[in-house]
Amino acid sequence: MTHAEMALAGHDEHFNCSQSVFAAFAPELGMDRILALKIATSFGAGMGRQAATCGAVTGAYLAIALKHGMTDGADQAAKEKTYALVQEFARRFKERQGGLECRDLLGVDLSAPGGLQLANERNLFSARCSGLIRTAAEILDEIL
């Protein structure tokens, strides 16, 4: 099963976009799937349903950091590599999807009154988020 397929399966299990992407990569990067799901929970729906940075994007950022992040304050090379990969991921994701913000990608502001209801009525979490999750996983496969 590919990372994209694993991430989409997570979304089918009702995990948010951030959880779905991060948990698809975390075990092979040394983190238990359960812990990955917990850590990424707050990033869904654009950072805790604030409609900010897309959860598929934040899940990818977490995976990049898990693989390349710094663990020693003196290891500036690890920090720079992580930042460079995050920037490259963002560039590719924007190129393929048109942006990074949940409200722009869904066309609905989940943080606004009635936004969540409208997204549910339009079936956006299934219709739109699946493509965002797939794109995030595919880009991660390319850059990791």
Q: Which residues are CB-contacts of 135 (< 8 A; sequence separation ≥ 6)?
A: 56, 93, 96, 97
Q: Which residue has the higher pLDDT, 55 or 126?
A: 55
pLDDT digits (tens, 9 = 90+) for 84-122: 999 999 999 999 999 999 999 999 999 999 999 999 999
Q: What is the mean pLDDT of residues 18-24?
A: 98
pLDDT digits (tens, 9 = 90+) for 34-63: 999 999 999 999 999 999 999 999 999 999
Q: Is the pTM of this model over 0.75?
A: yes
b or e along 20-32 (b: 16 or more beta carbons within 10 Å of the residue's beta carbon)?
bbbbbbbeebebe
